[in-house]
């Protein structure tokens, strides 16, 4: 079964010490209440996962990690294995974020191996793909997405365990976003590729990420084949993040 829509996930990146993070989570927990019709998740730094498990207890908020290693254990100083994250309370993990691809030289094969490790550990894998600004300007967006989808998604992917996040690199943290038509084209393309490769490709969650905020969420989340959002900066404010989630609730739902 795939995840309930909208799927709105907050990537805190390398932000947050215990005090401010507890307050932010508490505020979000109050807003979310006891149950949700969609899926709302936070991805704090790994140092906070143990505490965050307690903070979200009794709430529907999903807890995820921002990265994992491809191996379950070994001589990899400073890295964290998927089973460790699962043990500490994460139920999901982001892999292939453009900041990992860019600053840690992670290519599609590495991202795929990490996603396989996540699935093996019982974690939902949120797999990020997206073109650079140079590729966008050269009209190569769809080619890039095709390559990344092919290379980064495990063959064992299914809609219950994998979410694809389309994040144009040039839109992350810049305040710039593609037009709704461009988002629709990219998401439609990703949907077609998923359908061609996986029996339940039509049911995969496809998230848009890149400068989503309360002000533009309604328009972006209304685009065809946009099942939710991966939110960076705006997820650091509980009310703004909640407003993004609410913007994705279909009228009458």
Which residues would be at the binding site for ligand PEP (CB under 6 A)? 11, 167, 172-173, 209-212, 230-234
Beta strands in 98-186 (DSSP E): 124-129, 162-166
Check: CB of residue 147 under 8 Å from CB of residue 166. Answer: no
Query: Measured from the CB of residue 241, what is the shortest distance to ligand PEP in angstroms?
Result: 10
- Closest to ligand PEP by CB, 92 vs 198, is 92
Within a 13 Å sphere around the CA of 176, how many CA atoms are in the beta-carbon half? Answer: 9
- Closest to ligand PEP by CB, 38 vs 96, is 96
Give the number of other CB atoms < 10 A from CB of residue 196: 9
Q: Residue 184 is inside which H or E element, if any?
A: helix 180-197
104 catalytically annotated: no
Q: Closest by alpha carbon to 167, among 250, 123, 232, 106?
A: 232
- Closest to ligand PEP by CB, 25 vs 211, is 211
Residue 251 C-alpha from the chain's centroid: 24
Catalytic annotation, pick one of 99, 106, 131, 167 = 167
Query: Measured from the CB of residue 229, what is the shortest distance to ligand PEP in angstroms?
Result: 8
State which residue has the least CB distance to ligand PEP.
232
Query: Measured from the CB of residue 232, what is the shortest distance to ligand PEP in angstroms?
Result: 2
Catalytic annotation, pick one of 69, 97, 99, 187 = 97
167 catalytically annotated: yes
**Residue 243: φ, ψ to 5°:** -65, -35
Q: Which two tokens stand for residue 191?
A: 């949907």
- Closest to ligand PEP by CB, 198 vs 228, is 228
Query: Measured from the CB of residue 11, what is the shortest distance to ligand PEP in angstroms?
Result: 5
Q: What is the CA radius of gyration of the chain?
A: 17
* Residues acting as catalytic residues: 97, 167
């Amino acid at each position: 079964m795939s995840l309930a829509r909208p799927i709105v996930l907050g990537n805190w990146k390398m932000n947050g010490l215990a005090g401010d993070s507890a307050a932010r989570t508490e505020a979000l927990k109050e807003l979310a209440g006891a149950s949700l019709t969609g899926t709302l998740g936070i991805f704090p730094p790994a140092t906070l996962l143990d505490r965050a498990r307690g903070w979200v207890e009794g709430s529907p908020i999903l807890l995820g990690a921002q990265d994992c290693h491809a191996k379950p254990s070994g001589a990899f100083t400073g890295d964290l294995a998927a089973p460790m994250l699962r043990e500490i309370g994460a139920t999901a993990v982001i892999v292939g974020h453009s900041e990992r691809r860019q600053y840690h030289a992670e290519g599609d094969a590495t991202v795929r191996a990490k996603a396989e490790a996540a699935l093996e550990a019982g974690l939902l894998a949120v797999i990020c793909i997206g073109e650079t600004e140079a590729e966008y300007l050269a009209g190569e967006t769809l080619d890039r997405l095709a390559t990344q989808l092919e290379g980064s998604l495990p063959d064992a992917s299914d809609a219950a365990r994998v979410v694809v996040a389309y994040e144009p690199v040039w839109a992350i943290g810049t305040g710039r976003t593609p037009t709704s038509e461009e988002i629709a084209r990219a998401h439609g393309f990703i949907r077609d590729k998923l359908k061609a490769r996986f029996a339940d490709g039509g049911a995969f969650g496809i998230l848009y990420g890149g400068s989503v905020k309360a002000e533009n969420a309604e328009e972006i989340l209304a685009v065809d084949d946009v099942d939710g959002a991966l939110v960076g900066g705006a997820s650091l404010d509980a009310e703004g993040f909640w407003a993004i989630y609410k913007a994705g609730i279909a009228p009458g739902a």
